[in-house]
Amino acid sequence: MTHDPEPIVFPLGASGPFHRLQVALRLLDHERPAIGRRVVACIAITWVPLVLLSWWQGLAPSADAATASVMTHIATYARFLVTLPLLIVAENSVRPHLEQALSHAVTSGLVPKATYGRFVDIMMRALQARESTAAEVVVLALALATSQISVTVATHGHHASWIHVGPELTWAGRWYAWVSLPLLQFMIYRWFYRLSLWWRVMFGLSRLDLNILPGHPDERGGLAFLGDSVQAFALLALAFAGAAAGSVADFVLNEGAPLGELKGFIAGAAVGILGLFLGPLFAFFRPAYRAKDEALIRYEALAQRHWQTFSDRWLGTAPGESASGHGGETEFSPLADLAALVKGAREMKTLPITKEGVLPLVIAIVLPFLPLLATVFPLDELLAGIVHVFLGKAE
């Protein structure tokens, strides 16, 4: 007697030591994510104290020094009012897409029954690593270290004067250095760690004896659903791009840096964010290429035999005799099917990257930079170019 596989549960974003700490602080419970409460709490911890401390210390906005106030520091808005809330919301938004993709890998037959146990083991190992206290301690230490380095560079470079008065940090600067920025960096690095676990699952899946089907209607051997699944990370892409765009906007609007000088940073950030989510799909290139190569050998050998038989019968038809007497009419349909199978295998793409998966990511990455780009390019030309890219060869 056979049994259907158990429903796959894969809460990549939730749980873990930091999650349990929030439960202990009653910011959420095990049944409800309480996203709104957690977002408000994070803004109250990170952004509000910066405003209050700057006000109490008398650091009012100045017309000749836009960055003298946290209220005009665009990067601060982007980091604590956009990026940080999105990182929290993404914890639950990614789950349905990823669980659907993993479940489809089983129900579609991509993962054979013989390797189902290994597939489950791969997922369980990733979820166990997600619970690692040591990993989150390392992430916290890294966040504190990079925050201190960032504030030190800002102090010496006089990039944001609300952080310092001369060589000394302001009250807001101290809070920024030891609370606000480390919390943001912790959330970002924590997501990087969890994305590394998703990479681990995808690479593990790619090494199983998968039932890849060249000639499949999705033109990717039945792997297109994996390419579609990356749209789960659209909010994360928006969060990372928002942080990068905020920094660029601060340099351009408050520091007077030409946008053209930052195009390398913008392009690098965009490619890096996109690669962060598309990277695991490249693990399937080798098994897909091997399946395609082996299928073409089998399909074309079979096609050769059938076409030869069909050709011999047609060429052997006597004058005035109908080809149907040799079964010609009944052979047209299977030959057409075989030809379509060979053609489909030849046209199969060996990377499961799809427009449906990539497009939401690209939109999320481009969106935060649009206001900046609109200051350089006419808006109608900018939108026309984006539409052309999206509707063109985006695969």
d(CA 236, CA 257): 27
**Per the domain annotation, does 305 fall within a domain?**
no
302 within some domain: no
Backbone angles phi, psi at 4, to 5 degrees: -65, 145
How far from chain centre, in Å, is Cα 157? 33
Judge whether 139 lies within some domain.
yes
Distance (Å, whole) CA 93 – CA 98? 10
* Total number of domains in the chain: 1
Question: Is residue 234 domain-resident?
Answer: yes
Instruction: For residue 345, list its beta bridge partners.
Output: none
**198 and 12 Cβ atoms separated by less than 8 Å:** yes
62: DSSP letter: B
Domain extent at residue 46: 17-289+353-391
| 250-261: b (≥16 Cβ within 10 Å) or e | bbbbbeeeebee
Q: How far is Cα 220 from Cα 395, in angstroms, rounded to an integer?
A: 12
- Residue 58 has what pLDDT? 74
The predicted pLDDT at position 258 comes to 76
Long-range contacts of 167-174 (CB under 8 A, 24+ apart): 170/53, 170/54, 170/57, 170/59, 171/53, 171/54, 171/56, 171/57, 172/49, 172/50, 172/51, 172/53, 172/54, 172/57, 172/59, 172/70
Element (H, E) at 168: strand 168-169
Residue-level pLDDT, tens digit, the chain, 395 residues? 344 566 788 888 877 888 888 888 888 776 677 888 999 999 999 999 999 998 888 765 554 444 457 887 888 999 999 999 999 999 989 999 999 999 999 999 999 999 999 999 999 999 999 999 999 999 999 999 999 988 877 555 555 468 877 678 888 889 999 999 999 999 999 999 999 999 999 999 999 999 998 888 888 999 999 999 999 999 999 999 999 988 888 777 766 677 777 888 888 999 999 999 999 999 999 999 998 888 787 766 666 666 666 666 665 554 444 444 444 444 556 656 666 666 767 788 999 999 999 999 999 999 998 877 766 666 565 566 655 655 554 44
Residue 6 counted as domain residue: no
Give domain status of residue 219, yes or no.
yes
> Is residue 190 in some structural domain?
yes
- In order, the DSSP letters of 202-242 are HHHHHTS-----TT-TTSSTT-HHHHHHGGGGHHHHHHHHH
What local confidence, expressed as pLDDT, does residue 66 receive?
A: 44
Which segments of the chain does DSSP mark as H helices, in order? Answer: 17-24, 35-46, 48-56, 74-77, 84-107, 116-130, 133-157, 171-175, 181-206, 224-229, 234-249, 263-278, 285-315, 328-346, 355-366, 370-373, 379-391
**How many Cα atoms occupy the beta-carbon half-sphere of 120 within 13 Å?**
11
Asked if residues 376 and 259 have their Cβ atoms less than 8 Å apart, the reply is: yes
Query: pTM score, two decimals?
Result: 0.84
CA distance 269 to 75: 15
The pLDDT value given to residue 63: 44
Is 295 within a domain? Answer: no
- Give the Cα separation of 16 and 328 in Å (integer): 66
Query: What is the distance between the alpha carbons of residues 19 and 352, in angstroms, rounded to a whole number?
Result: 33
72's CB contacts (< 8 A; 6+ apart) are 61, 66, 254
